[in-house]
Amino acid sequence: MNGALRVLGACLALSLPHSGVAGDAGGTPLPADSVYQVDANLARADGSQVEWRSLRGMPRVVTMFYSTCRAVCPMIVESARAVQRSLPEGDRAQVGFVLVSMDPARDTPAALAKAQRERHLDPESWLLLQPDPEDVRPLAAILGVRYRLLADGEFNHTTTLVLLDADGRVLARTEKIGAAGDPAFGAAVRAAAAAR
Protein backbone atom coordinates (compact mmCIF):
# COMPACT_ATOMS: atom_id res chain seq x y z
CA MET A 1 0.00 0.00 0.00
CA ASN A 2 1.36 3.40 -0.83
CA GLY A 3 2.16 5.97 1.84
CA ALA A 4 -0.69 8.33 0.99
CA LEU A 5 -3.29 5.58 1.49
CA ARG A 6 -1.65 4.50 4.74
CA VAL A 7 -1.83 8.08 6.05
CA LEU A 8 -5.46 8.45 4.87
CA GLY A 9 -6.43 5.20 6.57
CA ALA A 10 -4.69 6.14 9.81
CA CYS A 11 -6.24 9.63 9.85
CA LEU A 12 -9.72 8.27 9.23
CA ALA A 13 -9.26 5.58 11.86
CA LEU A 14 -8.20 8.16 14.44
CA SER A 15 -11.20 10.36 13.68
CA LEU A 16 -13.79 7.60 13.89
CA PRO A 17 -15.69 6.60 17.01
CA HIS A 18 -14.62 3.27 18.48
CA SER A 19 -11.58 3.18 16.17
CA GLY A 20 -9.42 1.41 18.72
CA VAL A 21 -11.90 -1.28 19.67
CA ALA A 22 -13.85 -2.10 16.55
CA GLY A 23 -13.60 -5.73 15.67
CA ASP A 24 -15.47 -8.75 14.49
CA ALA A 25 -17.85 -10.84 16.56
CA GLY A 26 -14.86 -12.42 18.28
CA GLY A 27 -13.78 -9.00 19.55
CA THR A 28 -10.40 -8.92 17.80
CA PRO A 29 -9.51 -5.26 17.25
CA LEU A 30 -9.27 -4.02 13.69
CA PRO A 31 -5.93 -2.64 12.46
CA ALA A 32 -5.81 1.15 12.55
CA ASP A 33 -5.49 1.30 8.75
CA SER A 34 -8.45 -1.00 8.06
CA VAL A 35 -11.21 0.38 5.82
CA TYR A 36 -13.61 -1.45 8.13
CA GLN A 37 -12.97 1.26 10.72
CA VAL A 38 -15.74 3.21 8.96
CA ASP A 39 -19.10 2.66 10.65
CA ALA A 40 -21.55 1.98 7.83
CA ASN A 41 -24.80 0.09 7.45
CA LEU A 42 -25.73 -1.49 4.16
CA ALA A 43 -28.48 -3.62 2.64
CA ARG A 44 -27.74 -6.68 0.54
CA ALA A 45 -29.55 -7.45 -2.69
CA ASP A 46 -31.75 -9.88 -0.73
CA GLY A 47 -32.81 -7.04 1.60
CA SER A 48 -30.92 -8.25 4.66
CA GLN A 49 -28.89 -5.70 6.61
CA VAL A 50 -25.14 -5.92 7.07
CA GLU A 51 -22.52 -3.83 8.83
CA TRP A 52 -19.53 -2.80 6.73
CA ARG A 53 -17.06 -4.26 9.22
CA SER A 54 -18.80 -7.65 9.05
CA LEU A 55 -17.17 -8.12 5.63
CA ARG A 56 -13.92 -8.76 7.49
CA GLY A 57 -12.58 -12.29 7.28
CA MET A 58 -11.44 -12.83 3.69
CA PRO A 59 -9.69 -10.89 0.94
CA ARG A 60 -12.13 -8.86 -1.15
CA VAL A 61 -12.06 -6.87 -4.35
CA VAL A 62 -14.24 -3.82 -3.74
CA THR A 63 -15.50 -1.10 -6.06
CA MET A 64 -18.26 1.48 -6.18
CA PHE A 65 -20.82 1.64 -8.98
CA TYR A 66 -24.45 2.41 -9.70
CA SER A 67 -26.77 -0.05 -11.41
CA THR A 68 -28.34 2.35 -13.94
CA CYS A 69 -24.94 3.27 -15.38
CA ARG A 70 -24.66 2.08 -18.99
CA ALA A 71 -21.12 3.19 -19.79
CA VAL A 72 -18.28 2.87 -17.28
CA CYS A 73 -19.84 0.73 -14.53
CA PRO A 74 -20.42 -2.33 -16.74
CA MET A 75 -16.74 -2.09 -17.74
CA ILE A 76 -15.72 -1.94 -14.06
CA VAL A 77 -17.81 -5.03 -13.31
CA GLU A 78 -16.38 -6.89 -16.31
CA SER A 79 -12.85 -5.98 -15.21
CA ALA A 80 -13.57 -7.43 -11.77
CA ARG A 81 -15.05 -10.54 -13.40
CA ALA A 82 -11.89 -10.92 -15.48
CA VAL A 83 -9.86 -10.82 -12.26
CA GLN A 84 -12.11 -13.49 -10.78
CA ARG A 85 -11.75 -15.67 -13.89
CA SER A 86 -7.96 -15.31 -13.71
CA LEU A 87 -7.93 -17.07 -10.34
CA PRO A 88 -7.18 -20.79 -10.36
CA GLU A 89 -10.45 -22.70 -9.98
CA GLY A 90 -9.52 -23.87 -6.50
CA ASP A 91 -8.78 -20.33 -5.29
CA ARG A 92 -11.93 -18.59 -6.53
CA ALA A 93 -13.82 -19.14 -3.29
CA GLN A 94 -10.98 -17.48 -1.37
CA VAL A 95 -11.73 -13.95 -2.63
CA GLY A 96 -15.01 -12.07 -2.36
CA PHE A 97 -16.18 -9.37 -4.79
CA VAL A 98 -18.15 -6.37 -3.50
CA LEU A 99 -20.04 -3.70 -5.45
CA VAL A 100 -21.09 -0.77 -3.24
CA SER A 101 -23.64 1.60 -4.74
CA MET A 102 -22.95 5.32 -4.87
CA ASP A 103 -26.65 5.83 -5.71
CA PRO A 104 -28.60 4.37 -2.76
CA ALA A 105 -31.78 6.27 -3.65
CA ARG A 106 -32.22 4.24 -6.85
CA ASP A 107 -30.14 1.18 -5.98
CA THR A 108 -32.65 -0.43 -3.67
CA PRO A 109 -32.17 -4.09 -2.79
CA ALA A 110 -34.66 -4.99 -5.55
CA ALA A 111 -32.67 -2.95 -8.11
CA LEU A 112 -29.42 -4.57 -6.96
CA ALA A 113 -30.97 -8.04 -7.16
CA LYS A 114 -32.05 -7.27 -10.73
CA ALA A 115 -28.53 -6.07 -11.62
CA GLN A 116 -27.05 -9.19 -10.04
CA ARG A 117 -29.31 -11.42 -12.14
CA GLU A 118 -28.77 -9.47 -15.36
CA ARG A 119 -24.99 -9.49 -14.96
CA HIS A 120 -24.92 -13.15 -13.87
CA LEU A 121 -23.03 -12.39 -10.66
CA ASP A 122 -23.02 -15.44 -8.41
CA PRO A 123 -24.35 -14.41 -4.97
CA GLU A 124 -21.94 -16.89 -3.37
CA SER A 125 -18.98 -14.72 -4.34
CA TRP A 126 -20.51 -11.32 -5.23
CA LEU A 127 -22.12 -8.88 -2.79
CA LEU A 128 -24.07 -5.91 -4.13
CA LEU A 129 -24.67 -3.42 -1.35
CA GLN A 130 -26.86 -0.35 -0.82
CA PRO A 131 -25.33 1.91 1.85
CA ASP A 132 -27.34 4.29 3.97
CA PRO A 133 -27.23 7.68 2.16
CA GLU A 134 -25.06 9.27 4.85
CA ASP A 135 -22.53 6.44 4.56
CA VAL A 136 -21.78 6.82 0.83
CA ARG A 137 -19.28 9.66 1.14
CA PRO A 138 -17.25 8.08 4.01
CA LEU A 139 -17.07 4.76 2.16
CA ALA A 140 -15.95 6.47 -1.04
CA ALA A 141 -13.30 8.42 0.89
CA ILE A 142 -11.83 5.38 2.63
CA LEU A 143 -11.76 3.44 -0.67
CA GLY A 144 -10.27 6.36 -2.61
CA VAL A 145 -13.24 6.60 -4.99
CA ARG A 146 -14.08 10.05 -6.32
CA TYR A 147 -17.59 10.72 -7.61
CA ARG A 148 -19.92 13.60 -8.39
CA LEU A 149 -23.67 13.61 -9.07
CA LEU A 150 -24.46 15.35 -12.35
CA ALA A 151 -27.55 17.42 -13.16
CA ASP A 152 -29.02 14.61 -15.30
CA GLY A 153 -28.87 12.11 -12.44
CA GLU A 154 -25.79 10.32 -13.76
CA PHE A 155 -22.50 10.17 -11.86
CA ASN A 156 -19.00 11.16 -12.88
CA HIS A 157 -16.70 8.79 -10.99
CA THR A 158 -13.37 7.03 -10.94
CA THR A 159 -12.95 3.45 -12.07
CA THR A 160 -11.31 2.13 -8.93
CA LEU A 161 -10.88 -1.51 -7.95
CA VAL A 162 -9.44 -2.05 -4.46
CA LEU A 163 -8.02 -5.30 -3.09
CA LEU A 164 -8.44 -5.63 0.68
CA ASP A 165 -6.84 -8.22 2.91
CA ALA A 166 -8.97 -10.16 5.40
CA ASP A 167 -8.70 -7.32 7.92
CA GLY A 168 -9.62 -4.59 5.44
CA ARG A 169 -6.14 -3.22 4.74
CA VAL A 170 -5.53 -2.07 1.16
CA LEU A 171 -3.18 -4.48 -0.61
CA ALA A 172 -3.52 -3.09 -4.14
CA ARG A 173 -5.64 -0.77 -6.22
CA THR A 174 -6.08 0.05 -9.87
CA GLU A 175 -8.04 2.39 -12.10
CA LYS A 176 -7.17 0.41 -15.23
CA ILE A 177 -10.23 -1.31 -16.63
CA GLY A 178 -10.94 -3.15 -19.83
CA ALA A 179 -10.31 -6.55 -21.34
CA ALA A 180 -6.58 -6.48 -20.62
CA GLY A 181 -7.07 -5.21 -17.08
CA ASP A 182 -4.13 -4.47 -14.84
CA PRO A 183 -1.69 -7.42 -14.69
CA ALA A 184 -0.12 -6.21 -11.43
CA PHE A 185 -3.53 -5.94 -9.75
CA GLY A 186 -4.52 -9.40 -10.99
CA ALA A 187 -1.26 -10.84 -9.65
CA ALA A 188 -1.94 -9.25 -6.24
CA VAL A 189 -5.42 -10.83 -6.12
CA ARG A 190 -4.01 -14.23 -7.06
CA ALA A 191 -1.36 -13.92 -4.35
CA ALA A 192 -3.99 -12.99 -1.75
CA ALA A 193 -6.12 -15.97 -2.74
CA ALA A 194 -3.19 -18.38 -2.68
CA ALA A 195 -2.17 -17.19 0.79
CA ARG A 196 -5.53 -18.21 2.33
Q: Is residue 27 part of a domain?
A: no
Q: What is the rounded distance in angstroms from the CA atom of residue 162 to the CA atom of residue 173?
A: 4
Q: How many domains does the chain have?
A: 1
Give the predicted TM-score (pTM) of the model.
Answer: 0.85
What is the enclosing helix (H) or strand (E) of 112?
Answer: helix 109-118
We report the CATH number of the domain holding residue 175 as 3.40.30.10
CA-nearest of 179, 175, 178, 181 to 162 is 175
Strongest mean pLDDT among 17-21, 44-48, 68-72: 44-48
pLDDT of residue 51: 97
Q: Report the pLDDT value the prediction gives residue 97, as an integer from 0 to 100.
A: 98
Residue 87 belongs to some domain of the structure: yes
Q: Is residue 155 part of a domain?
A: yes
Q: What pLDDT digit, counting tens, does each position of 74-120 carry?
A: 999 999 999 999 999 999 999 999 999 999 999 999 999 999 999 99
Q: CA 40: distance to chain centroid?
A: 13
Q: What is the span of the domain harbouring residue 128?
A: 38-194
Domain-located, residue 159 = yes
Assess contact for 24 and 57: CB atoms under 8 A.
yes
The strand ranges marked E within 66-154 are: 96-101, 126-131, 147-149
Count of other CB atoms within 10 angstroms of residue 20: 13
Task: Tell me the C-alpha to C-alpha distance, in Å, between residue 118 and each of 21, 85, 191.
Answer: 40, 18, 30
Is residue 179 assigned to a domain?
Answer: yes
Residue 179: predicted pLDDT:
75
Q: Domain for residue 161, yes or no?
A: yes
Give mean pLDDT, residues 4-29.
Answer: 46
Kindly state whether residue 17 falls inside one of the protein's structural domains: no
